[in-house]
Amino acid sequence: MSTRGPVLRVEDLHVWFDLPGGELHAVQGVSFELHAGERLGLVGESGCGKTTSILACIGLLPPNASVAGRVYLNDRDILEGGESTVAPHRWKDVAMVFQGAMNAFNPVKRIGDQIAEPMELHRTAKGRAARTRVVELFEMVGIAPERVDRYPHEFSGGMRQRAAIAMALACNPQVLLADEPTTALDVMVQAQILELLVQLSEELGLALVLVTHDLPVVAQTCGRAAVMYAGRMVEDGATTDLYHDPKHPYTRLLFSATPDLYAQEHIVSIPGVPPRLDRDIVGCPFQPRCDRAFAPCPTIAPPFVTVAPRHAAACHLNDVALERTQ
Partner 1 sequence: MSSDAGAPLLEVEDLVTRYPVSRGLMGTIAGRPRLNVHAADGISFSLRSGEMLAIVGESGCGKTTTAQTVMRMIEPDGGRIRFRGSDITTLSHRQMRPLRRQMQLIYQDPYESLDPRFRVGDTVEEPLIIHGEGGTKDGRDKLVREALERAGLSPSELYVERYPHELSGGQRQRVAIAASLVLNPSLLVADEPVSMLDVSVRAGILDLLAGLRRAGLGILMITHDLSTAAHYADRIAVMYLGRIVEIGSAKEVVRRPQHPYTRALVSVVPSRDPRTGPRPQLLKGETPNAVHIPPGCRFHPRCPQAIEECKSVDPQLRPAGGEGQEAACILVGHNEHLDAEGGGPGAPTATAPGRI
Ligand X SMILES: Nc1ncnc2c1ncn2[C@@H]1O[C@H](COP(=O)(O)OP(=O)(O)OP(=O)(O)O)[C@@H](O)[C@H]1O
Question: Which residues bind to ligand X, rule: CB under 6 A?
Answer: 17, 19, 24, 26, 44, 46-52, 62, 64, 99, 213, 277
For strand 175-179 and strand 311-313, is the pairing parallel, antiparallel, or unpaired? unpaired
Here's the x/- map for partner 1, 257-296, by CB under 8 A: it reads as xxxxxxx---xxxx--x-----------------------
Q: Which stretch binds Mg ion (CB under 5 A): 48-56, 65-73, 190-198, 254-262?
A: 48-56
**Position 272: which residue type?**
G
Site for Mg ion in 98-157 (CB under 5 A): 99
CB of 255 vs ligand X, minimal distance in Å: 17
CA 244 – CA 18 distance, rounded (Å):
40
CA 228 – CA 312 distance, rounded (Å):
12
- By CB under 8 A, the count of residues binding partner 1 is 42
Q: Which is nearer to Mg ion, 14 or 131 (CB)?
A: 14
Check if the beta carbon of residue 230 is closer than 8 Å to that of residue 28: yes
Q: How far is CA 191 from CA 97, 142, 176, 188, 291, in A?
A: 17, 14, 18, 5, 34
CA 211 – CA 209 distance, rounded (Å):
6
Alpha helices (H) in 145-234, listed in sequence order: 157-169, 187-204, 215-221
CB of 286 vs Mg ion, minimal distance in Å: 20
CB of 120 vs partner 1, minimal distance in Å: 29
157 touches partner 1 by CB under 8 A: yes
239 touches partner 1 by CB under 8 A: yes
211 touches partner 1 by CB under 8 A: no
251 touches Mg ion by CB under 5 A: no
Q: Which stretch binds Mg ion (CB under 5 A): 49-57, 146-154, 243-251, 309-317?
A: 49-57
Which residues have a Cβ under 8 Å from the Cβ of 106 and sit 6 or more positions away?
114, 152
CB of 6 vs ligand X, minimal distance in Å: 22
- Candidate residues 213, 278, 283, 292; the one interacting with partner 1 per rule CB under 8 A: 213
216 touches partner 1 by CB under 8 A: yes
CA 322 – CA 306 distance, rounded (Å):
11
Check if the beta carbon of residue 28 is closer than 8 Å to that of residue 229: no
Closest CA relative to residue 157, chosen from 176, 181, 137, 173: 181
Site for partner 1 in 167-196 (CB under 8 A): 186-192, 195
158 touches partner 1 by CB under 8 A: yes
Count of other CB atoms within 10 angstroms of residue 90:
20
243 touches partner 1 by CB under 8 A: yes
CA 290 – CA 292 distance, rounded (Å):
5
244 touches partner 1 by CB under 8 A: yes
CA 303 – CA 237 distance, rounded (Å):
16
Check if the beta carbon of residue 96 is closer than 8 Å to that of residue 58: yes
154 touches partner 1 by CB under 8 A: yes
51 touches Mg ion by CB under 5 A: yes
Name the 3-class secondary structure at 44: coil
Site of interaction with Mg ion (CB under 5 A): 51, 99
Binding site for partner 1 (CB under 8 A): 45-46, 153-154, 156-158, 186-192, 195, 213-217, 219-221, 239-240, 243-244, 253-255, 257-263, 267-270, 273
